[in-house]
Amino acid sequence: MEQPAVAPAGRPDWDAWLLELARWAARRATCPRRRVGAVIARDRRVLATGYNGSLPGQPHCDEAGCLVDAEGHCRRTVHAELNALLQAARFGTPCEGAAVYLTDAPCPDCARALAQAGIAEVVVDRPYGDGAGIAVLEAAGVAVRRRPAPWLPLLGLVGGAGAGKDTVARWLAERWRYTPVALADPMRPFLRQLFPDHPRLRPLYQGLGDWARAQDPDAFVQAAARRVARGGPWVVTDIRFPNEADWLEAAGGALIGVDAPEALRRVRVRARDGEDGLAGWVCFVNRKSPISP
C-alpha cells in the first residue's frame, strides 16, 4: 500500500524526501531541454546521485548549445540515471535490489541499464516521452511507482513586455519541474544561425512571428501542440492571442496573468530590446488569473 505524499504531521514520507533530493540533483543538470535528477537508495540510505550533464572537461549544453540528433534528442549529455549507476560502480557500491528515484521517467536505453544493474524499483515524479522506458522496466520485472502529480500538466503565461513571464517560468521549472516552452521556439535556431552576432534578436522574432501568423494564425499553436502532447508538465511562456489561449484551455491548461508596474516594465524592456520594445509586443488576451513577480 502506497504511503501518502505527506505524513499527517506535515513531515515528508521517505518517497517524498528522496524525490526532493532528486529534484535538488536536477538543479546541477546542464541541459536546458530537460534537467533531470536521480537518486539510488537502499533501505532509505542514499547510495549514489546523478544528473544529466556532459563528460568531465567537455562543454555543457548551457555553454555550447545542445547536440540534437535527427530524432530530437540531445547527445551531448550522459543521462541522470546512467550517471548515478556509473557513480555507484566507480566507487564499488552495489545496486542490486536498490530503488531509483527519478524526477523524470527514463528513456528506453536508461531503463535497460537500470534493469541490467539489478534495480528492483523505480519511483517517478513525472512522465517522459511516450512511456517506452516505463514499458521496458515493467517487461523486465522492475516495479514502477508514479507519485501523484501536484501540478496541472499545462500552464500558459499571459502578460505584456517586461512583465516577468520568464522569471515566473524559471521559478516553475525550479520548484515544480515545469519545462518552459515558447510558441516562438521554432524560429529561434533559424534566426540565431542567420544573425549569430545580432545584439537584439527579439524584435526579429516578433517581426517573423507576425508574418507567420498572417500566413496561418494557428501555425505556432499547431507546433506547440505537437511538442506538449507528450511528457510534461509544460509552461508556455508567451500566450498573446485569443486563438492561442483557446487552444491552451481546450487542452486542459490554465492561463496565468503576469504583470509588473509599468515603470519597471519599461526599464526591463529598454535594457533588453531598446526604446521600441514596449510598443512592439502587445498582448491581446485578458482572461487569466493574476500574478506579479
State the catalytic residues: 81
Cell numbers 500574478 correspond to: 291
Q: Collect all residues with Cβ–Cβ distance below 8 Å to 109 and sequence separation of at least 6.
A: 79, 82
DSSP 96-144: TT-EEEEEEPPPHHHHHHHHHTT--EEEEEE--TTSHHHHHHHHTT-EE
Q: Rounded to the nearest 5°, which phi and psi values hold at 112?
A: -65, -40
The closest of 180, 160, 155 to 260, measured between CA atoms, is: 160
Element (H, E) at 283: none
8 A C-beta contact, residue 117 and residue 40: no
Per-residue CA distances from 126 to 8, 15, 153, 173 (Å): 24, 14, 10, 13
Q: Rounded to the nearest 5°, which phi and psi values hold at 52?
A: -80, 125
**How many CB atoms lie under 10 A from the CB of residue 17?**
14
The closest of 147, 110, 117, 104 to 17, measured between CA atoms, is: 147
Q: Collect all residues with Cβ–Cβ distance below 8 Å to 165 and sequence separation of at least 6.
A: 157, 159, 237, 238, 258
C-alpha cell at 235: 509552461
